Amino acid sequence: MVQKMMKNYVIGRFLQMVPMLLCITFLAFAAMRLAGDDAVDLMYEKSGGVTEEVKAAKRAELGLDQPFLVQYGAWLKGAVTGDMGKSYISGKPVWETFMEKLPTTLYLMLASVLMTLAFAVPLGILAAVQQNRWVDVLIRIGTFVGNSLPNFFVGLLLIYVFAVRLEWLPILAKTGDGRAVLLPALTLAIAMGAKYTRQIRAVVLEELAKPYVVGARARGVKERTILVKSVLRSSLVLIVTLLALSMGSLLGGTAIVETIFLWDGVGKMAVEAVLARDYPLVQAYVAWMAVIYVVLNLAADIFYRLLDPRVGYEKAGAL
């Protein structure tokens, strides 16, 4: 019975994904076409003396002379069959370009998530255990500041301190250098870690006030045992949900951080494609973002149900 409910739930969520993805890609396609700049004009802006006839021929070659719905239909048909077109700038297949950039974004994502968990989980638990004491106050002030600072400012500050002043780390990221990932990953981890710490503190405080914790204390169970075996396990539901949302953002490409550190990933590729009006690359990026967010949220819902069987499918699906 339970397996059948799980199967129906997953199938239902997948069916919900289809209209959602269509809507997202359609709106992104429309936004790029309504931006005002012409991709062909930008392509030839540095080439003097190009006639309108040449530009018109190029638009016809790229299919940009077709009506909007015809262009979207052609793109959608290609995307479904695995052909996302070719980049207007490089002429390379979009899928090949995208897969070349993805490993560096995955590397950055993994490093930033590990950094985040390394300090967010212990600090969140410590702040809850030391509620309203000086340690808790300091942690809350630190997380408030970390959550308030924009990524571009944190990145520039870290570059100035650790690369310019102390000269401990390289200014620009080179994916072959293991040290190069530290600054961009730390930039991402500061904001994520601040959010994680505050929410972990809140959920641990909620768990510590529940009757089963009071009963365990009355029976003489050690505080560390209660925290590790009961409270932290209950907090895993929140941590999994946060991880799913964060990984969606990171896999989509943290465009600002990748651009600041010249990290050659998906986010930097998307920024360059938007500036050049490279429609196929931008559309591939939007489709990737949509799929990642939907799939990871579905995975979070399923893990939420597995970690806490008391939660019904209706509640898990509402997260």
Q: Give pLDDT, residue 308.
A: 58
219 is written with which tokens? 């029976």
Contact 124, 168 (CB under 8 A): no
Radius of gyration (C-alpha) of the chain in whole angstroms: 24
HSE on the CB side for 101, CA within 13 Å? Answer: 28
- Helices 266-275 + 279-307 axis angle, to 10: 140
pLDDT of residue 318: 42
Residue 142 has what pLDDT? 92
- Please, where are the H alpha helices in 64-93? 68-80
Q: How many CB atoms lie within 10 A of CB 283?
A: 22
Could you list the mean pLDDT of each consecutive 10-residue stretch along the chain, which spans 319 residues?
Answer: 68 78 82 69 66 78 80 82 78 85 86 89 88 91 90 89 86 65 90 88 85 80 77 74 71 77 85 81 82 76 64 45
- Confidence (pLDDT) at 209: 81
- The structural domains of the chain, ordered by start, are 94-317 (1.10.3720.10)
Would you state the pLDDT for residue 135? 92
Question: CA nearest 163: which of 177, 149, 183, 146?
Answer: 183
Which tokens sit at 160?
Answer: 């100035």
Q: Is the pTM of this model over 0.85?
A: no
Q: What is the pLDDT of residue 230?
A: 75
Distances (CA, A) of 261 to 38, 170, 274: 29, 10, 18
Tell me how many degrees the CA angle 43-47-51 measures, rounded to the nearest 5. 90
Confidence (pLDDT) at 6? 67
In the three-class reduction of DSSP (H, G, I as helix; E, B as strand; rest coil), residue 317 is classed as helix
What integer pLDDT is reported at residue 315 of this predicted model? 44
Q: Which residues neighbour 265 within 8 Å (Cβ) at sequence distance 6 or greater?
A: 101, 102, 104, 105, 108, 253, 258
